[in-house]
Amino acid sequence: MEVDTESSQPLWSRIPVEGCAHRELRYSIVDGLDLMARVYRPVLRGSDRQVQLPVVVHAVGGGWSEGDRTLAADLHRRLARAGIVSVVPELRSGSAHHHPRAAVDFERALRRVHGEAKTLGIDPAVMIVAGSLSGAHAALTAVVTSQAVRRLRIPRGVVLRWPSVDPTTVRDAMLSSGPDDGTASAVDDYFAGSVRMRRAVLPEMIFDGAAVQLPSLWLTRSRGEIAAPCVVSDELAFAWSHAGGAVTVFDAEPEYEEQVNQEMVRVIQELAALVGSKRQTIGQVR
């Protein structure tokens, strides 16, 4: 029996993209403060605009003191040109907003994007979470600890770029590398003490059973990035695998960011296409 490989692919992956556009989205209001996100979207033509697209919600890094939604714009434009919507929420952090504020904000963004799927033109069942450096800690904390996120059965995949998911090890590595440039102090300020910092070590939380039914994880590992020591990536990969999740590790240093961005786009495309094709096949069987 011949298989029509083209029809087995999700529709969004076969639509030509004419460009990239972005707009701002207020995803929540907290204590009178507007929490904003930037939404990058492929520019499609005619009736193609009605197609639901996969979405990535990305927590960018900010040295534990900021989470600017304009960061990593090149990556998000690449995703748009690949047919994928990306949402980049600003997350509260720093000395004025202690842990777990960033993770709570990221959870709010996930729920808002899921709830506004029709307006945003996305498929809520094909949602992927991404995180970079300190942003990876916020994103993964929301994925691992939030009951609301679990009830929504999201995300369908997690993609992390040099994840700083063990703040204790990250801070110690920064201090041992030389005079503090302010980043180690920012870790202390955000977590407001060593006790809270130790409780926020994600590999330990996952290994101790905090997470169930984990999606596939892809992460970059660096031997030179002080903000994401190699041992932290290894601990996360081991804990994730121990909890039953599939893990892929990609070795790359920060100076090869363009290569990492290209690989991230490829991986996100594959994850989205895999989920989309599975759902399409199920629909055909029914």
Please write the tens of the pLDDT for every residue from 81-92: 999 999 999 999
Q: Are 72 and 136 in contact (CB under 8 A)?
A: no
Distance CA 64, CA 186 (A): 6
Residue 284 confidence (pLDDT) = 40
Residue 4 confidence (pLDDT) = 45
Burial 97-125 (b: 16+ CB within 10 A, else e): bbbbbbbbbbbbbbbbbbebbeebbbbbb
Residue 8 confidence (pLDDT) = 63
Tokens of 205: 């939380």
Residue 282 confidence (pLDDT) = 38
Residue 6 confidence (pLDDT) = 54
Residue 277 confidence (pLDDT) = 63
* Fold designation for 5-285: Rossmann fold (3.40.50)
- What phi, psi does 201 have (nearest 5°)? -75, 105
Q: What percent of the chain has pLDDT over 90?
A: 69
Tokens of 108: 């709010």
Q: How far apart are the first and last CA of the chain?
A: 20
Residue 125 confidence (pLDDT) = 92
Give me the residues of the chain with pLDDT under 50, please. 1-5, 280-286
Domain boundaries, the chain: 5-285
Q: Are 127 and 114 in contact (CB under 8 A)?
A: yes
Residue 3 confidence (pLDDT) = 38
Residue 5 confidence (pLDDT) = 47
